[in-house]
Structure 1
Amino acid sequence: MRKKQSGKKVSRVEGRTSRSISTKLQCRDGEHRGSVLIVPTRKFPNIQSAVDGAKPGDKILIKEGTYFENVKIENKKNITIQSFERELVTIRGSGIGAGIDIVESSEITLQDFSLRDFVYGVFIRGNKNFLINILSSFNSLYGIFLMGDDNVLEDCSIFDNRIFGIQMSGTSNVIKNNIVTDNSDAGIQAEGSAFKNIIENNTIGRSSSGILWIPVNSRDNIFKKNFIIQCDSGVVIQNSRNKIVQNSVQRQRNSGIDILGDNNQVAHNFVTSSNVGIVVNGDSNTVQDNCVIGNSVKDVVDVGKNNVIRDNTNCKC
């Protein structure tokens, strides 16, 4: 059914409706401690109306249904948007804009719902935000577009996006425990500036590149315990002073790990069943104590200068 409200673009909602509910808590001194806002209700017929009315500490709970809207969260802080009791919630677009656009906002938590059919599923331009158990798929560019610092993406499923699963820049972001598959160009790509990010324990597959880390202005990132399978290239690092450790990289059509930058540490990775296991094009890198076996052309290729390449059939890694 269609819901209309004068002066505002309102989504079409397929699902249950309920009475207006807003549970408010107040401190003794009158300071706002947070409310629970339910969508859809008379007061909040769609997600955007609840976001517009939310204050720091509020939680927006979305009832089961499909919501046709683009949600913008601008200049907000400490708000949670979550499905009600983990009910099935989908925010669906028409190929325009971002499903959720977080602009100059912090401490925003998105949890337990799906987005699809936008340009970007979620576009983050802010710091200290959290995406937990978000599914983002079938978007025309990126599943998640992240520009900011100290953000966390965890337990998300990001697949079948036309360009990248995750496109990111920033400092001290954590991307862990996600499934990122079937995105055309790359599972996770970084551009711009990228420092001290942690990419850990993700399953990445069936893309042109699994991890494509190409910022010139980038260092001190950690790529750890990721499982990368069936890409053209598993991990491509084009910058310096990163750690690529304890990853399992299997069945890449070209290279398992390709190091184009300098002074990187590549250790305790399992790299197998690719055309070439590890290719080192940069200088002064350390490639040591990896298990690199069963690659069809060569296990390790070193075409740089002053690289340390040793003990790479250590298959207890």
Structure 2
Amino acid sequence: MTKCHIAYLACTAALLGAGLGATPAAAVRATLVVHPGESIQKAVDAAQSGDTVLVAPGTYYESVKVTTPGLTLRGSGRTTVIMPDPKVAVTPPGTTASSSADTTKDTASCAEGGNGICVVGTKTHNLEGVTVSDLTVTGFARSGVFGMATDGMTVRKVYAVKNGVWGIAQERSVHGVFRKNYARDNGDAGLFLANTIKAEEGATDTGGVVVDRNRLEGNRIGLTVRRLRNLTVAGNYVTGNCAGVFVVGDENKPKAGAVTVRDNLLVSNNKSCPKTERLPALQGSGVVLTGAEDSLVTRNLITGNAGNSPLSGGIVLFKSFVGVTSERNRISDNTLDNNSPADLVNTDTGQGNSFTGNYCRASKPSGLC
């Protein structure tokens, strides 16, 4: 049988399928390819739900906002680089992390807000099913990738390097997946997840956000989980930050917590960072729970985290700076070594916290190992 016959039979089969209830043409997914010198934003604007915007290797000087549900924005690996457009001025309302979200409430302000890729829903409807993967975002004044009001946003194999505040950040969102990313040398957290930045509100249920197998290195904090509930942090490699993993709550209700931190490797997070309005100077923190409840920290390997901060140590329970205690947290079956001032540190006065089955040498107070 010749190739022409094979091609003819394939076409005939496709036509028969079309007559027998095949997927409507409107549901066919397209791939839009962007090459150096072309605009990623134009391709994103032209794409429909379910489409993929595939970005070829090269450097692209722009910010990109995504408002189409089900869209995949995929690069060709770390050689697809997105950097700020030098012709776009960043809006100046402050340079702190708390101001970075204010400028993204209008999605058109992604670039002016100092962000690289913005995935943003509305106040009344979460943007569903967007994926950002296989690219580098670097040099942005605030965030490399920023998601707000999203449902099921996936960020995978993104290299977020040397951004001013966060490498990858998300707020007011549910069901997110952050997997196999590399966040390095960002000004605040490599990966930052929060309920909201600009308002005082109780912790929100994420619906099971997953933070899995990321490398977080050289940031102020590797991962910050702020005023959230119901998520899993597993299998990450966290090293060279001022602090490794923070689970942070405060006086708002419901309380932060129900977070599982398991099977992570936290090594030598000994970079020194000065104090801020919210936190003292940081150095040598592995995992810190402050103002959190009902969380599980288990089967982690935590070694070589040393410093003189009130938050220094391998695993630290610390009463929040507004006086909220941590309660009913379980610290179990971790391996800790050579952390200072101790492998396990509990300065919290909260009730129901337990330390069981941990392999370690020293604790404050003594008797936790």
TM-score class, shorter-chain normalisation, is: 0.7 to 0.9
1:293 alignment counterpart: 337
Identity %: 21
Kindly state the Cα deviation for residue 48 of structure 1 after the two structures are TM-superposed: 3.8
**Superimposed CA distance per residue, residues 124-154 of structure 1 (whole angstroms, 9 cap, x where no aligned partner):** 1122111111211111001111121211111
Q: SS at the partner of 1:234? A: strand
1:178 alignment counterpart: 181
2:11 alignment counterpart: none
Whether 1:310 and 2:356 are equivalent positions in the alignment is yes
**Superimposed CA distance per residue, residues 233-287 of structure 1 (whole angstroms, 9 cap, x where no aligned partner):** 1111122111010111111233211111111111001111112111113121110
Q: Which of 24, 31, 55 is matched with 2:25 structurally?
A: 31
Contact 2:69 2:128 in 1 (8 A): no
Kindly state the Cα deviation for residue 314 of structure 1 after the two structures are TM-superposed: 7.1
1:137 alignment counterpart: 138
- Where in structure 2 are there 5+ consecutive unaligned residues? 1-13, 92-103, 121-126, 196-203, 249-255, 270-282, 307-312, 319-325, 362-369
Shift of the 285–39 alpha-carbon distance from structure 1 to 2, 3 Å rule, reads closer
Whether 1:187 and 2:193 are equivalent positions in the alignment is no
Deviates more, 1:188-197 or 1:258-267: 188-197
Letter in 1 for 2:352: N
Within 5 A, what are the aligned runs for 1:162-241? Answer: 162-169=164-171, 170-192=173-195, 193=204, 195=206, 196-215=208-227, 218-238=228-248, 239-241=256-258
Shift of the 31–163 alpha-carbon distance from structure 1 to 2, 3 Å rule, reads same
Shift of the 201–51 alpha-carbon distance from structure 1 to 2, 3 Å rule, reads closer
Q: Which of 150, 153, 157 is matched with 1:151 structurally?
A: 153
Matched residues in 2 for 1:197 and 1:156: separation?
17
Whether 1:54 and 2:73 are equivalent positions in the alignment is no
Matched residues in 2 for 1:72 and 1:274: separation?
38
Kindly state the Cα deviation for residue 36 of structure 1 after the two structures are TM-superposed: 4.9
Shift of the 309–206 alpha-carbon distance from structure 1 to 2, 3 Å rule, reads same
Which structure dedicates a bigger proportion of its chain to strand? 1
Matched residues in 2 for 1:173 and 1:143: separation?
17
Q: SS at the partner of 2:340? A: coil
Matched residues in 2 for 1:220 and 1:235: separation?
16
**Superimposed CA distance per residue, residues 34-59 of structure 1 (whole angstroms, 9 cap, x where no aligned partner):** 45545569xx9644444444344544
Shift of the 167–58 alpha-carbon distance from structure 1 to 2, 3 Å rule, reads closer
2:114 alignment counterpart: 119
Kindly state the Cα deviation for residue 186 of structure 1 after the two structures are TM-superposed: 1.0
Letter in 2 for 1:120: N
Shift of the 174–181 alpha-carbon distance from structure 1 to 2, 3 Å rule, reads same
Shift of the 172–97 alpha-carbon distance from structure 1 to 2, 3 Å rule, reads farther
Q: SS at the partner of 2:339? A: coil
Shift of the 284–139 alpha-carbon distance from structure 1 to 2, 3 Å rule, reads same
Which structure dedicates a bigger proportion of its chain to helix? 2
Contact 2:81 2:137 in 1 (8 A): no
- Where in structure 1 are there 5+ consecutive unaligned residues? 1-24, 105-115
Matched residues in 2 for 1:222 and 1:87: separation?
26
Within 5 A, what are the aligned runs for 1:273-292? Answer: 273-275=304-306, 276-281=313-318, 282-292=326-336
Q: Which of 273, 280, 285 is matched with 1:255 structurally?
A: 285
Matched residues in 2 for 1:102 and 1:130: separation?
20
Matched residues in 2 for 1:87 and 1:200: separation?
19
TM-score in terms of structure 2 length: 0.64
Letter in 2 for 1:184: G
Q: How large is the Cα RMSD of the aligned pairs? A: 3.4
